Amino acid sequence: MPPVRLGARTYDDSARLVMGIVNATPDSFYDRGRAYALAPALEQVAQMVADGADVIDVGGVKAGLGPEVTPVEEIARVEALVGCVREKHPDVAISVDTWRAEVARAVLPAGADLVNDAWGSHDPQLAEVAAEFGASLVCTHTGGLTPRTYTRRVRYPDLVGDVTRFLESLAERAIAAGVSPDRVVLDPGHDFNKNTWHSLELTRRLDELVRLGRPVLVAPSNKDFVGETLDLPVGERIEGTMATVAVCAWQGARIFRVHEVRQARRTVDMVTSIIGDRPPARVVRTLP
C-alpha cells in the first residue's frame, strides 16, 4: 500500500489512521451541536486524541439539508478551532471538511494539513488552494451531486466502475492543479448520492478502489446505510459502523473517519494485527 502524507507527516504503508469527527455546527445529525462552541469542541478533541485519533476532521457545515451557512460563517466556526487544535495537539494531523476554496484558504494557514472535500470538487478552485499550501486533498465520489442536496432513485449500471472513473478523474484534476500525487486521497462516498445497496456493494468491493494505488479514506460512521441495514436509529449504529470499518480495513483502506474514536482504534488495530502489520501489545498466553 502507498504511504499517506498529511502535512509534514508521512505514515508508512502499514499505518491505518483513525480520523475523529468534530462537528462545529449547531445541527449535526449525530451530536446535535455538542461541539458547536469552542470549549466543548476542544474537550472533544482532547478526548479523541487520548482515545487514539491520528487525525482530527473539523467541519463547519452539516452535510445534509438545513439552513444556509455562508462562507463567512463557516470560517468563523472552524478557523479558530483549527488554530487551537494545532496549538494544543502539535502531533496530530488536522483535516478541514469543506467544499469551498475560500474556506480552505482561511483555514489551511491556521494549521490544517488536509482538505476533506466531501462534495466531489464542486468548487474547482479548491484543489488549487490545497496545492498552494502543500496540503493533502480528499477526492470523494458524489456522482456530481450539488452540496447539501439529496436525490432519489439514483441508479448506477456499473457502480464500482462509475466510482473508479469519477475518482480517477478528480485525482487527475487535482494533480493538474498542483496537488502532489502522493497527497491525493480517495473516498468512495458512502451514502453520498447512493442508496443502501450501493454503499454495501462499495464496502464489499473496496479492494477494487484500493488497487488504484492511492490511499483510500472511508467515512461510514453512523450513516443511513448502516441504520437501514440493521433497522437502527443514529444512536445505536456503532456495531454496524465498526463492522464496516473492519471490512474496509481488511481490504486496504488507510483512513477511517468516525465519531467513536476509541472503538474504531481498537477495531483497526485488531485488523492490522490479524493482517500481520502490527504485533500484539503483549503475548503471555501459554508462556512459562
Task: Please tell me the chain's helix, strand, coil percentages from 3-state DSSP, rounded to the nearest 5.
Answer: 40, 15, 45
Assess whether 205 carries a catalytic annotation: no
Selecting among 77, 183, 237, 257, the annotated active-site residue is 257
The active-site residue, picked from 223, 237, 254, 265, is 223
C-alpha to C-alpha distance for 112 and 144, rounded to whole angstroms = 26
Measured in whole angstroms, how far is the alpha carbon of residue 84 from the centre of its chain?
Answer: 20
The residues with which 10 forms a beta bridge, in sequence order, are 5
Pairwise CA distance, residues 32 & 239, whole Å? 21
Please, which residues bridge with residue 140 across strands? 187
Contact, 146 vs 122, CB < 8 A?
yes
Is-contact 124 100, C-beta < 8 A?
A: no
Buried b (16+ CB within 10 A) or exposed e, 144-180: ebebeeeeeeeebeebbeebbebbeebbeebbebebe
Residue 137 and residue 174: Cα distance in Å, rounded?
A: 8
Copy the grid coordinates of residue 239: 456495531
Q: Is 62 tagged catalytic?
A: no
Quick check: 107 and 69 in contact, CB under 8 A?
Answer: no
Instruction: State how far the Cα of 189 lies from the Cα of 116, in Å rounded to an integer.
Output: 12
Catalytic positions, written as ranges: 223, 257
